[in-house]
Structures are given as C-alpha cells and as structure tokens.
Chain A
Amino acid sequence: MNDDLVKLTIDGIEVDVPKGTLVVDAAKKIHVDIPVFCYHPKLEPVGMCRMCLVEIGLPMRDRGTGELLLDDDGSPKLNFGRGLQTGCTVRVSEGMVVRTTTEPVKEVREDVISFLLSSHPLDCPICDKGGECPLQNLTMEYGPGVSQMDYSLKMHNEKQVPLGDLIYLDRERCIQCARCIRFQEEIVDDPVIQFHNRGRALEIVTMSEPGFDSYWSGNTTDICPVGALTSSDFRFGARPWELTPVPSLSPHSPAGANIVMSTRREAKSGGRSVIKRIVPRQNEWVNEIWISDRDRFVHHFADAPDRLQKPLIRKNGELTEVSWDEALDLVAEKLQAHSTAVAGLSGDRLSNEDLYAFQHLFRRGLGSNNLDLANRRLAGGDVTAQVGLASGSNLQDLGAGDAILVVASDLHEEEPIWWLRVKQASERGATLVVLNLRPTRLDKYADYVFRYAPGEAIVTVRQLVNAAKVETDTAVDQLTAAADTLIKANNLVAFYGYEGLTYTETDTLAKLLANLLLLKNEDKAHAGQINSGLIPVWPHNNSQGAWDMGIHPALAAGYQPVEASGMDAATIYEAVHNGGLKALYVMGADPVGDGRMPNRGQLDFLVVQELFLTETAKLADVVLPAQSWAEREGTFTSGERRVQRYYQAISPLGECRPDWQIAAQIGERLDMGKPAFAASLLFRDLAKVVPQYKGMDYRSLAKVAEQWPLVGGDDVYYGGTSYKNEAGLGQQWAAAAETDEVGLFEVADGDTAVTTNLPLVRIAALYTPGTLINHTPMLADRLAAPTLHLYADDAQIIGLQDGGETVIQVNGRSLSVQVCVNGHAPAGLALLSGVPWFPGMAEFEIL
C-alpha cells in the first residue's frame, strides 16, 4: 500500500486520497458534494460558514495496546464524537468514516441556510448572481423552503457601494465568508480589502487609492458565493442563463490566459451577439482559475463604434468606402508592381494563422524577406526554440529545491499571471533570484535581489553565469552564492525581458541565460528537462507565434534561415524615409502612433490592415478592415510555447474579414492559389511547414484532461464561476534541447555605453494607454498617465518636485509628464511609465 495514501469511507464509498487532504476535497473526488460557502479549494480553510458540517467517525483503539476495537461483526468500532465537524478543516485519516446525508447533517444545513438568509435580501430577480449563485442553489437544495423570519425584521444595508470603479459591493447580500479578503491576501498579496465593524454591521471596505487597487480584483466576483461583489462591466448587463459561454484566450496575455467570453444576442445591439463579460477558464498549466483585470475588462474594443467596417481607398485625397474586390485588386496590383521595393510590418497580437499567411504572401507571392514586427522589442525567439521551457512543464510544480531567475522585467506590470506563478513558486520554497535596474514587486519574494547600474545588465548577468561555471564550496559574495543555487537547483526556469535594453542587448541576454541553462552540473544540464528552461517575457499575446511563423527578415516559418535576409523594421523605417521602399503593407500595427515612423516618407503605396483608423491608417492609400479575435477562431502561442485555440464568440462586424483571409485573398490575385476555407485548414497547412507544430491540429489542441480542483458546472459553490476547460488545454511544442544536443551560444561582448549621466528608461505599466485599452471605459481612471520617476537627489539637481508637471523632450518627441519622486527610481536613472515603448536608454531634456 502506498504510504502517502489514506483510505476512508464517505457515505459508504471507499476512497484513497493523499495524506493531508481535507474531507470536503476527498468527498469531491468521488463526486459527493459537501456544500460550502467560505471554503475554496485554492484558499486556506477557515471554517467560518459552518455549511460543511458532517458526521465524522474515527476507529476506536484500545488505550493500552493501541489495537483497533472491533464490533461483534468484526468491523472497527467508530467514535463519532459529540457533534458534527466542519469537513473543510478536518483532514482525512486512515479508517475515517464520513456521513454527509444523515438527519443531523440535513438539519444543520437547513439551519445554516436559514441563518444566512435571515440577513440576506431576497432580491434574486435583480441580482447578477441569480442563476449561478451558490447561496441560491444551496438554498434550493438544502434550505427550509419557508422562512421563519418576519420579512420586516430583515437588516437593510447599502446596496451600491463602489469599491473603486471596477467592483461594486452590495452590503446586504454579503454573507461574510471572507473569500474575497482571503484571495487578496493569500493568493495575490494585495490586501486592500478588509472587514470593518462586527456582527451584523460587518462590511467589506477598502482604503486604497483608487479603491480596491489590485490587478486581480475581478476574481473576487467569481469566487463570491453571493451577489455581494459584482463587476461594473457585467452589473445589470444580462442574466447568466441567457449567456453563451465561448472558450477563448486573452488577446493581451503572453502567458496565454484561458478565458470564457459570455455572449448574448440582444435587441439593443441590433440583434448582434455581444460580449457581456469575460471570466476565467481553468487551465492549471497556465492561469489556474484566475485572470488579471486586463484580461477580464479589456474587450470593449471588439464592440467599439469606431471600428472599421468597410475597405477604404484614398480617392481625391479622401479615404472612401469601396468593395472588397476593388480594394484587394488594387493592393495586389500595387504590391506586385513594387515587388522589388516592398516590405511588410506586422503586430504581434495576431493569430498564428494571420502571421503565417502574411509571411507566406511576402515570401511566396512577392519573393521578399522584407518582413518584420513593427515594434520588435525582445530578441531570443530562436534561442527559446533551442532551450525554452521544456514541453510538459507546469510552473505550479516548482517548489523547494528549484530555482527561478528573472532578469530585466517587471513581471507584475508586464504579465501578472507569470508574476503570480513565480511568487507562488517562491512561497512553495523555490529560490528566486531577481536582477533588475530598479526595485519591482517581485523583490519582496526573492531570495537574492541584484540591482545593476544603467548599462551594466549584460556585465552583471555574465558575472552570474561565469560564477555558475566555477565549482565552489564557499561563496565569496551574494552573486556567487546565487549562481551556485541556480546551477545546483533541481529545476531552473529563467525569465528575461527588455526593460532598459536595446534589441541587441536582449539577444545577448537570451544567449547568456541559455548558456546558464546549458551548463552541466554533475553531467546534467537544465535545458531540455521538464520544468526547466527559458521564458521570454514577450510584450504581446502572440509574440512567440510571430517568431514561430517567421515574421522575421532572416528566419522563415519554423526558424528556417532564409537565403538572403531582408530588411528589419529599423531598416524599413529608414527606407520609407529615404525612398528605398516604394510599398509597405502594415498588418495590425501602428508604427506612426507608436512614434517609430514619423510619416509615410517617400512611399508610393501604403496599405494598412486594422481594427481602427490608427495614425498609420490615416496616412494609407488602402485601409482593410480586419475582424477582431472575438469574431473568428485561431491560435496563439504563449511564451511557454503552448499553442492554444480560441473560438468565435460574436458575429463579424460589418464587412470585416480575418487577417489571414485578407492576406490569402491578396495572394490569390498573385496566383498563389485559393485561400484556405477555414482557419483550421490553414493551421493544418502551416503545421506541415513549421516542424515544431508537426502533428498539431485543431482537434489535438482541443484535448482536455481532468484538472484539480473541479470547477464549473453545478459546482459553482465550490470553485466559483471560473469555467471548466472543455475546449482544450493546448500543446507545448518541444524545445530542441529536449531531443538534441544543443551547443553553447557564442555571446558577443558588450553593453551599450551610457552617454548621459541621467539616462531615461521606459518602464512597463499594465494599464499603459493604447488603442485597445483606451476603449475600456471602466479602466479610464486607472490608465497609467505619463509619469517621470526620479530619485530625490536627481530631482533636486534638475529642479523638479514630486507631484509637479513638466514637459520633456525624448527621442525627438515632446511629452507632458507628471513628476514622481517616491523612491521607485534609483540614483542616476530616470524612469518613464505610461508611454509607448522605446528601446534601451534615452537622453531627455526638460523643456
């Protein structure tokens, strides 16, 4: 018998569960439902609500001999104690007998429900939770049916208390289970909501500014077992039973957060189906059952009234609506006419199918490798293909004995899900090493924090890697000690980002970290091992896919080197300016708005494919309206190289078409053959070309497995309104090191010299203004205003004060900024948040 398993009997059914399992969870495993309100499988048990009271009997033993006492029939005698016990706080033990359907249990459930309802308004008909409400469901199942309370004696409390502009509290619906408070403390460490007062006056309060200041606040509305916490996005928006749940992926999350879009066709939207809310979809390998507020609320762009709906062609200086055929004919004709001086720029939010079709058009149809991301920030996709996080990994498995390294990234602002998973790994005992220019929120959980001076990122990482090469018993300094821990760890995961770095520097960084992963300790390297490897903190949801699909001037789809490299983005912008290029096709990017391309330069022809009339689109000759991710299906690939599917949630707007289809229809006019009939078929084609995707198709990506905890379905009271994953967990593609010997990377010397004594670095903010987020009204007050962060002495020298406003000139643009002198910036470095990204370090002037 396995020593780690415990055998017990629940309602006559024998079950073996791991030691330490709680009775409620053991019961859940055999689908015996013990009702709960305060218990949540992801939170520590507190036993506050008493709903899970059950009879628990333990085998009796002779006090002298320790032998089991037996009944006449030979079965062990059981001691059920004097009363019921809470199944959420009692852990299983050998021979335990649990009874969940006896009269005393039924009676107490009825009593607990009656007690909770004594102060609960019966406003289910207008409550957002009605229909998926644990209290409502459990009342129907276990409640008394008739109230013993005089309705006039009910407590009445405030019903619309905004805890900030995202979450509303209905005080009289709250049953004081503290799930929300515990989530904020235990899971995400943002303890900005608490109980206030006592007894019947108890209420949830927040003092943060803005109210309920957490990137995770929306999750509390999922786990609230009543309608006390609701989101301003969904409040009074629809009834749960009218909604169609559509599995999807966050269009913002480089970690690949799984979501469900709840949609409804409605008269007020002209009969169109619209997105009413976004809730998490369980994927324990990716986001568990949580999503950040960015992933939850930033979807309104899909339904925005200013979306492009028809193709436009510039006629007599004005963009004029035309038919698709007219627009596509013109684009094909112009691109072909300029095929020796043509280039393509793409965004990295688009699906793999879009990106593949785009590069296919350029490489096959136009014979050009002038192809790049419009705003390429982070190098190392090719390095990741070699030593990326091994397939089959789950960051949830990292703990004691493992190590995580984070370099040049503020995970909390760039990808909160990775921040959460790294934090939790550290809490489980993994060693966390953080190297950054400045303090970040991850430092609090780190075992080693190293701060490098501006321009010394690479030098510092090189020192770390070199230190790891040397066998040492006594560490001479912290860096050596950290290096020793990293190299000796059972598993090693390295995250790297681009804060303050140029593209070339990120390439060096990726290779240095790859070499760290390839270093052998006792004849074994980390690279290629499950739960070890490199993770680039990509700026967008499908930057990884853009590498895989070959949106690169030198690497075709599947990382195959091209014969002659084309122009990269920087060269393209220069050629636009000096006339080296005649035609440019921009898909899902806004280089003009991002400050990368000042104007259309000497271009003869500019075609822009977009959701909105961006700054770039305004200058175009042809504008092609694309469908948002919500209107079609496709795949994204996460930074952990997990290829995942999303599904069509709403009907296409106007005449919009999927990006891949538009590119393929242009290709059709260049004699490249008929476009694929569906995204799934295009994916099948690309999986034949991209070796890493070999064997994948829409069916294999849709495979699911049982996950713990069980959520969704009728169990909303147990796990909250996160959806059970029935649409696919995705597939991680294998890094080369998993199967082949990978040699060390050659790493060039060199950091960029710092040319100024107060360099300026752009730092990330989750709510940095941009085309998509600006369409989300409820986040308007939380958008990161452009802010210059300075160290106190530096601020004094240049004569700026905390809270002041000023105008600075940076990279040739002037910007109005607020000044913040609160200790975030280290001495000798200025930080700029809330603005579009720029590479490396800039000089700035105060105007």
Chain B
Amino acid sequence: MTFTEKYAAEIEGIMARFPHKKSAVLPLMHLAQHYYGYMSREAMEEVAAILDLDPTHILSLAGFYTLYYEEPVGTYVLEICNDLACALRGADEFVEMACDKLGVGVDGTTEDGLFTIKTVMCLAACDRAPMLQCNLKFEENLDEEKFEQLIARLRDEAANGRTPPTVVEKVAAYAKSTS
C-alpha cells in the first residue's frame, strides 16, 4: 500500500485547509515521511503527484528543512543544537560524548535502529543548553548523566512497545481540526 492510499482521508483533510493545493506540501511531506520513515524517492514522488508539482520541488524542500530526512533514521532522532550560544555552553563536547556513548558519528544510526544523532542550528533554548530535541520533544540542561538516563528510558520504552508520539497523530489531529 502506498502512503497515498493509506492516508487518503488525512491527505484530503490537509488539502481542504488550503486555498492552493501547493500550500499543503509541508504537512503532506511530514505524513509521507512518517509512513516511509524518511523522505524516500517514493515519498517525494507521491507528494509531488498529489500536489501536481515536480518531485524536484519536494527534494528541494526536504533539503532546506532539517526535519525532513533524506536518509533512513532511527526510531529516536536526537537533534542536538550546537549553534554558537549552545557551543559556548559546551554543546560540541556534549555531541562528542553522545556519539561516544552510542558508538555512532553525527548523522549515524545505532545498529539496533533506535537512535540517530544529528546536529542542528538553534532550537531557541540557548539558556538551557546543552539541549536536544528528541522526536520534536525538548530535553534540556543536559549532561552526561542525564543523557544516559534519557537513553535508558528510551530503550526501556522501545523494549516495552511504548512507541513515541508520532508525527502522524499530530498531523491527523491537525487535519481534523479544519472546522
């Protein structure tokens, strides 16, 4: 099943919110990314087909915004801010520590497919750095100990089948809130 088929109702709900269908591109990309795990070629082509755009347009947006992933990512994407203000509060060292702990490099995914580490620019929480965003949720004032606790908690969640809140639920809620 393609994502277009699976989320037909959600897609329709999202598109109904915009006067020009091209404007629905970002939420549809989130939905497609949720379904395929990342912005795969199929994902881009499907979104393009729905909105009557060239797939290159979708690729361009995926490249511009950091929350669209062009490569497969883990269940949890840890996006650590290392912009200037965070760097002054030790973000670079924190990134290095996190990579060591998980045994991956920046943009790498752990072998069990659980974690991907990325660095990002400014999440607007400079005063609480080092900080990261895990599947859109902020984790702030971090250090080595808190990072280990976070990882342990996420591993535990995953092992017990308590999957993290997904984009699709948010997008679906958004689609239904039309009126």
Contact = CB atoms under 8 A, between A and B. Distances in A.
Contacts of A194: 56-57, 59-60
Interface in B50-73: 53-60, 63-64
A197 interface: yes
Contacts of B45: 207
Given A197-B64, A198-B64, A207-B44, A191 B59 contact: no
A207 B63 contact: no
Given A208-B54, A208-B55, A208-B56, 13 more contacts: A191-B53, A191-B56, A193-B56, A194-B57, A194-B60, A195-B64, A196-B63, A205-B60, A206-B56, A207-B55, A207-B56, A207-B58, A207-B59
8 contacts: A191-B54, A192-B56, A195-B64, A196-B60, A196-B63, A207-B55, A208-B54, A208-B56
7 nearest A-B residue pairs (beta carbon)? A194-B60, A196-B63, A207-B55, A207-B56, A197-B63, A194-B56, A191-B54
Contacts of A192: 54, 56
A205 B64 CA distance: 12
B64 to A, nearest CB: 6
B60 A195 contact: yes
Contacts of A193: 56
Interface of B: 41, 44-45, 53-60, 63-64
Contacts of A197: 63-64
Nearest to B53: A191
Nearest to A199: B121
A194 B54 CA distance: 10
Nearest to B58: A207
B22 to A, nearest CB: 11
A195 B63 contact: yes
Contacts of A196: 59-60, 63-64
Nearest to A181: B60
A192 B59 CA distance: 11
Contacts of A198: 63-64
A191 B63 contact: no
Contacts of B57: 191, 194
B107 to A, nearest CB: 13
A161 to B, nearest CB: 14
Contacts of A195: 60, 63-64
Interface string A196-213: 111000000111100000
A494 B59 CA distance: 40
Interface string A212-227: 0000000000000000
Of A192, A196, A206, which is in contact with the most chain B CB atoms at under 10 Å from its CB?
A: A196
Contacts of B41: 207
A166 to B, nearest CB: 16
Interface in A700-745: none
Contacts of B54: 191-192, 207-208
Interface of A: 191-198, 205-208
Contacts of A206: 56
A205 B54 CA distance: 12
A585 to B, nearest CB: 50
Of B56, B59, B60, which is in contact with the most chain A CB atoms at under 10 Å from its CB?
A: B56
A514 to B, nearest CB: 38
Contacts of B64: 195-198
A507 B163 CA distance: 71
B21 to A, nearest CB: 15
A399 B59 CA distance: 35
A191 B57 CA distance: 8
A207 B63 CA distance: 13
Of B55, B58, B59, B63, which is in contact with the most chain A CB atoms at under 10 Å from its CB?
A: B63
A195 B57 CA distance: 9
B177 to A, nearest CB: 31
Nearest to B41: A207
A192 B56 CA distance: 6
A222 to B, nearest CB: 21
A188 to B, nearest CB: 12
A506 B58 CA distance: 44
A194 B63 CA distance: 10
B54 to A, nearest CB: 5
B83 to A, nearest CB: 13
B65 to A, nearest CB: 9
A205 B61 CA distance: 12
A206 B54 CA distance: 9
Nearest to A213: B54
Nearest to B62: A196
Of A192, A196, A207, which is in contact with the most chain B CB atoms at under 10 Å from its CB?
A: A207
Contacts of B53: 191
Nearest to B63: A196
A506 to B, nearest CB: 34
A208 B58 CA distance: 12
Contacts of A205: 56, 59-60, 63
A198 B62 CA distance: 11
B92 to A, nearest CB: 19
Nearest to A201: B63
Nearest to B45: A207
Contacts of A207: 41, 44-45, 54-56, 58-59
A206 B56 CA distance: 5
A197 B62 CA distance: 8
A195 B64 CA distance: 8
Contacts of B56: 191-194, 205-208
A194 B45 CA distance: 15
Contacts of B55: 207-208
Nearest to A198: B64
B66 to A, nearest CB: 9
A253 B64 CA distance: 40
B144 to A, nearest CB: 30
B138 to A, nearest CB: 23
A366 B44 CA distance: 66
A381 B46 CA distance: 47
B44 to A, nearest CB: 7
Of A194, A195, A206, which is in contact with the most chain B CB atoms at under 10 Å from its CB?
A: A194
Nearest to B60: A194
Nearest to A206: B56
Contacts of A208: 54-56
A691 B9 CA distance: 69
Nearest to A195: B60
Contacts of B44: 207
A298 to B, nearest CB: 26
A510 to B, nearest CB: 36
A206 B44 CA distance: 12
A609 to B, nearest CB: 46
Contacts of B60: 194-196, 205
Contacts of A191: 53-54, 56-57
A194 B57 CA distance: 6
B137 to A, nearest CB: 25
A196 B41 CA distance: 15
Contacts of B58: 207
A205 B63 CA distance: 10
B105 to A, nearest CB: 17
A217 to B, nearest CB: 13
A208 B41 CA distance: 11
A271 B47 CA distance: 55
Nearest to B55: A207
A208 B54 CA distance: 8
Contacts of B59: 194, 196, 205, 207
A198 B60 CA distance: 10
